[in-house]
Structure 1
Amino acid sequence: MTDNNHVLLRQNDNGIAELILNRPEVHNAFDDQIIESLISQLEHVDTNDNIRVLILRSNGKNFSAGADLAWMKRMAKNSHQENLQDAGRLAKLMERLNNLSKPTIGLVQGAAYGGAVGLAACCDIVIASEDAQFCLSEVKIGLIPAVISPYVVRAIGERQSRRFFLTAEAFSANTAKTFGLVHEVVATADLFDDACARITATLRRNSPQGMRAAKDLIFAVSSKVIDQAVIDDTAKRIADIRVSTEGQEGLSSFLEKRKPNWIQE
C-alpha cells in the first residue's frame, strides 16, 4: 500500500489496484496537493504491468465535494498566470484518468460535486449507490466546469449539459444512469465490493493488450465522420493486433479450446 494519508493506493495479488480519496472529514474535497498525488499515482498505475484494473473510490459518506474551499480561496488571490497553471494540473489529472491504459471503475456514494463529476466521467465504468447525488455546481459561485467539460459533455451529452451546467441542479444516481454517466446503481455502498468483484473478474479474463487497444479505438472513432481515413485506420488497427503476440495467443487459444496465457487462475 502506498499513501500520503489523503490519497491511498492499494494493490492486491490479482492485479486489482484501488486509488482512494481519504479526506472524509472534508467530504474528500481535493486541492492542488491531492491533484498532484492523484496524477503521480495514475502514472505509476499506467506503467505497472502487474496492475490490470484500477478502481477509483473514496472513504466516508461522500465520494467528493469537489474543490477544497481553502484551495479555492487561496487561488482567488493568485495571478491569472498562476490560476492558468493551477487549472492545467487539474486538466492533467482528468486527462491521465480518462486516457489510462487500464480499465477503470469508479465507485460513487453520497455527494459527487463539481470536479468529482469529472472524475466519474473519466472512468470507463461507474457504479453508484442509490444515495449518490451529482451536481455541476460551479455557476452557483460564479465559475464554470471548464476543464471537466470535455469529459462530462461526452458522458451525458450536450442536451443534458445545457440544463445542468446552467441550473447547477443536483441529480440522482438513477438519473445519472439514464444520462449515461453511471452504468449500474446498487442499493448501498456496502454492495460496491460485490459489484466490483463481478466486473473485475470479467475484465481479468480479457486480453490486457486488447482492452488497451479497444479503449484507444473508442477515442479514435468517437464523433468522427466515417470517411476513408477512419475506415483505413480501423482496418490497420485490426491487422496490427491480429499479428501481435497477444492477438496470436488469443486466436490460438480459442482454436485450441484452452485458456489464453493472460488468465492466471
Structure 2
Amino acid sequence: MTTIRVEREARGVAWIWLARPEKHNALSAEMMTELEAAAEELAADDDVRVVVLAAEGKSFCAGGDLAWMREQFGMDAGTRRSESRRIATALGALAALPQPLIGRIHGNAFGGGLGLISVCDMALGGQGIKLGLTEVKLGLIPANIGPYVVARMGAVRAREVFMNGRIFGAEEAVRLDLLNRTVAPEDLDAAVADEIAAYLACAPGAVRAGKALLNDLAGRVSTAQVDEAIDALARRWESDEAREGISAFFDKRPAPWA
C-alpha cells in the first residue's frame, strides 16, 4: 500500500494511517481503494481488538483529491458513478468493522475527512482544528459521505453545516456530535491511549457483540441510501456549477456565485 500505512500491535491494536502528508491526506482513488482493502482485512482478523484511524502530517484529511475530481469531467456518466462510489465503499468498509474504531483527529478535516470521522465509534480531536463540509463552495454536495454524516450527527445538527460550507472548530464539532471530545493537541495521544485501554480491559467478544447490537438498534446506513447519494452527486457533476466551481478553484479565482 502506498497511500496508507497499517500497523499492528501484539496487544491487539491496529492503526490505519493516512499517509499522503504532502497532499494533506486528500482522498485519491488509490487511497480510497486501499482504505477499503485495509478495513476488510482487519475486520477478518480475530486478533485485532481495536482499530485507530489516524493521519500523518499537518492535516487529518483535506477531503477529496481535486485532481482526481477534475478528471471525472472527462468521464462518461457510468464511469463517473463508478469512481464516485469509491468513497462510499471505503466508508462502508470502515463502518462495518466489527472492532471499535477510534479516530485520532488533528489539523484540519474537510469534506470526505468528515466522512471518515463519521464512521468512527469514538472521535477525539485536538483543540484548534478546523472542519467543514465545503463541497457546496465548488458547486458539488457532500453526497457520498452524507449517509454517514447524517447517521453520526442527526439531521437537525447536520442542517447547521451541510449546505453552507461553513468552517467550524473542534468545540462546535463536539456540540454537533461529530467529535466525542476535544483535548489539547499535546494530550491527543494520551487521550487515544486511554480509549484503547478501556476497550482492552473488556472481553473482546462482548465488545464486538455490543457494537453489532448497537448498530442494529441505531439503524445501519442502507444500500438504498448510499445509491441515492451517489445518484445525487452524479447529477451535480453534470451541472455547470460544478464545472465552474472546480475550474475557479484551480484557477485560483472566486467562483461566479461567491
TM-score (normalizing by structure 1)? 0.80
Aligned ranges for residues 65-80 of structure 1 at < 5 Å? Answer: 65-80=62-77
Aligned-residue offset at 1:137: 0.6
Helix, strand or coil at the partner of 1:218: helix
User: Quick check: which has more Rg, 1 or 2?
Assistant: 1
Structure 1 position 199 matched with structure 2 position 195:
yes
Alpha-carbon separation, structure 2, partners of 1:37 and 1:51:
18
Which residues of structure 2 form unaligned runs of 5+? 221-258
The answer (yes or no) to whether the contact 2:98–2:208 under 8 Å persists in 1 is yes
Q: CA RMSD in A?
A: 1.4
The aligned residue for residue 105 of structure 1 is: 102
Post-superposition offset of 1:110: 1.4
Q: Is the 8 A contact 1:54 1:102 kept in 2?
A: yes
Instruction: Measure, in 1, the Cα distance between the counterparts of 2:96 and 2:160.
Output: 27
Equivalent position to 2:218, from 216, 222, 238: 222
1:29 aligns to 2:30 (yes or no): no
Q: Paired residue for 2:43, among 46, 64, 70?
A: 46
Deviations 1:69-114 (A, max 9, x none): 1101111211110111112221111111112100100011111000
2:119: which partner in 1? 122
* Partner secondary structure for residue 167 of structure 1: coil
Give the structure, 1 or 2, with the largest relative contact order (CA under 8 Å, sep 6 or more). 2
Equivalences for 1:92-241 in 2 at 5 Å?
92-188=89-185, 190-222=186-218
Deviations along 1:184-210, one digit per CA (max 9) or x if unpaired, are 21111x322211111111101112221
Which consecutive residues of structure 1, in runs of 5 or more, have no partner in the other structure? Answer: 225-265
Equivalent AA in structure 2 for residue 62 of structure 1: S
% same residue: 33
Q: CA deviation at 1:50?
A: 1.6
Shift of 1:9: 0.3
* 8 Å CA contact 1:155, 1:179 repeated in 2: no
The one-letter code sitting in structure 2 at the alignment partner of 1:20 is: W
Partner amino acid, structure 1, of 2:200:
R
How many residues end up aligned between the 2 structures? Answer: 220
Greater than 3 Å deviation, 4+ residue runs:
none
Please report the TM-score for the alignment, with normalisation by the length of structure 2.
0.82
1:142 counterpart letter in structure 2? G
